[in-house]
Amino acid sequence: MIKTVNLSKTYRTDEVETTALNGVSIHITPGEFVSVMGPSGCGKSTMLNILGLLDSPSDGSYVFNGTEVATLSERQRAQLRKGNIGFVFQSFNLIDELTVYENVELPLLYLGVSAQERKDRVAAALERTQIMHRKDHFPQQLSGGQQQRVAVARAVVANPALILADEPTGNLDSTNGEEVMKLLTELNEAGTTIVMVTHSPADAEYSHRTIHLFDGHVVTENFMSKTYAV
């Protein structure tokens, strides 16, 4: 599903040049659950953005579902993204002007899902993330963890083939965090490919494999013995 070869990303500001990713080659097969770990600033979010077709690499090749996407225009990438990928952003990125319900409903609207089905699926996602009681609130009326749960609900509601989650439990207490991890595991068992950035070794336990990044390099890949039996 995902295959990158020597993927690099450099940011240039007036004086400094930052290499956020430096020759990353990874391979993720459909149905895998991969976690990405590494110290702050090592390039995790950058990698996730590129994998999710939100950003283009400075160098290297990226084949997504059999298509070379490194050189596509934003318009073409948008086409590929639609319905295929669900995101949980590190900073949530909820739309301030929309309620919790509307935020979660949005991906379904863009997919042209019928009203009744939308209602059911949004409700299910909100139940699952235990945020139903806040469905008519606006993001700024929510606590950090609640916003994070809305972001998770929005990412899973359309049943995408690939979910990219950037620290989906960073703002959550252990109970809620576990709940989110269970949700992701279930989706994974149903066939969804998941790439998740996390700082928590406990959360990484849920995945099949962990990619460790350091300074833009892949340093090690650990396979979780207990689950890698697929």
Ligand X SMILES: Nc1ncnc2c1ncn2[C@@H]1O[C@H](COP(=O)(O)OP(=O)(O)OP(=O)(O)O)[C@@H](O)[C@H]1O
Q: Which residues bind Mg ion (CB under 5 A)?
A: 45, 90, 143-144
If contact means CB under 5 to 8 A according to the sort of partner, which of ligand X, other proteins, Mg ion, none does residue 93 touch? other proteins
Measured at the CA of 129, the angle between CA 124 and CA 131, to 5 degrees, comes to 90
| Position 228 contacts other proteins (CB under 8 A) | no
- Give me the least distance between CB of 108 and Mg ion, in Å please: 27
d(CA 221, CA 230): 17
Two structure tokens written together for 122:
């949004």
Which one, 127 or 173, has the nearer CB to other proteins?
A: 173
| Position 17 contacts other proteins (CB under 8 A) | no
- Give me the least distance between CB of 104 and Mg ion, in Å please: 21
- Give me the least distance between CB of 192 and ligand X, in Å please: 22
Q: Which residues bind ligand X (CB under 6 A)?
A: 11, 13, 18, 20, 40-46, 90, 134, 141-146, 171
Which one, 85 or 113, has the nearer CB to ligand X?
A: 85
If contact means CB under 5 to 8 A according to the sort of partner, which of Mg ion, other proteins, ligand X, none does residue 32 touch? none
Question: Of 22, 81, 101, 183, which one interacts with other proteins (CB under 8 A)?
Answer: 81
- Give me the least distance between CB of 113 and other proteins, in Å please: 11
| Position 141 contacts other proteins (CB under 8 A) | yes
How many other CB atoms are found less than 10 A from the CB of residue 201? 10
| Position 94 contacts other proteins (CB under 8 A) | yes
| Position 202 contacts other proteins (CB under 8 A) | no
d(CA 207, CA 163): 13
Q: Which residues bind other proteins (CB under 8 A)?
A: 11, 13-16, 18, 37-41, 44-46, 49, 52, 54-56, 74-75, 78, 81-83, 87, 89-91, 93-97, 106-107, 110-111, 134, 138, 140-146, 148-149, 154, 166-167, 170-177, 199-201
